[in-house]
Structure 1
């Protein structure tokens, strides 16, 4: 890694810790177990560069992330991580739910319902104090 890459990696770790809490370490470890290179890329490029822009807050970035992941469908593991991250950066439970309700006419009922089921599980875990990913 170059100096710039090292800087982006450390900034990415810091940002990932802020948004992901304890879930971020588990998520990163699971990626690293399959591909250390992919884990480094996620940290450096996504959280060390992309998440550093000034035009959106971390809160807004997580709302965009959960809407995108829910719309794609089939991304439930990543959606769980980002719903938890959204809660960690100030998105309310009601805003998470309303984001997924808003997707019904745009992404389709099945994808929106799957996202709501993920949200229910994550919100229940947050209420009980268990933040597993």
Structure 2
């Protein structure tokens, strides 16, 4: 039986983002449930489920992009957690953020590193 994009997306979301992903989806229910549905179907049901990259590589790319954008800390924090959830090490994530200083500038890298510190503190990894 073929799973729907939505079902595939829900499974991917749970595997990658866990509770953080569910909180994002739940936060949209009262304002725009369609955006929640599209978020499940397209990124997670279509893109994250593709065979060309493993989840770790996809999260490295996502952390790099969100760090470079420099203005999406809430989404970056969700994906920093996701990167840890799918097997990225703290060192790998720090190196990705540091690499962005070359291409996105120091403010973006600083914001990314501070977001990562917050994530680690929330996960009780550092004081």
2:65 corresponds to 1:68: yes
Aligned to 1:54: 51
Aligned to 1:33: 30
Correspondence list, 1:40-119, <5 A:
40-119=37-116
Identify the match of residue 7 of structure 1 among 4, 9, 18: 4
Deviation at 1:55, TM superposition (A): 1.0
Q: TM-score, normalised by structure 2?
A: 0.93
More helix by share: 1
User: Which residues of structure 1 form unaligned runs of 5+?
Assistant: 129-133
Higher relative contact order, structure no. (Cα contacts within 8 Å, ≥ 6 residues apart): 1
Deviation at 1:21, TM superposition (A): 1.2
User: Which residues of structure 2 form unaligned runs of 5+?
Assistant: none
**Using the alignment, how far apart are the partners of 1:27 and 1:116 within structure 2?**
22
Deviation at 1:101, TM superposition (A): 0.5
Q: Aligned-pair RMSD on alpha carbons?
A: 1.3
Identify the match of residue 23 of structure 1 among 11, 20, 25: 20
**Using the alignment, how far apart are the partners of 2:96 and 2:28 within structure 1?**
27
Q: Secondary structure at the match of 2:4?
A: helix
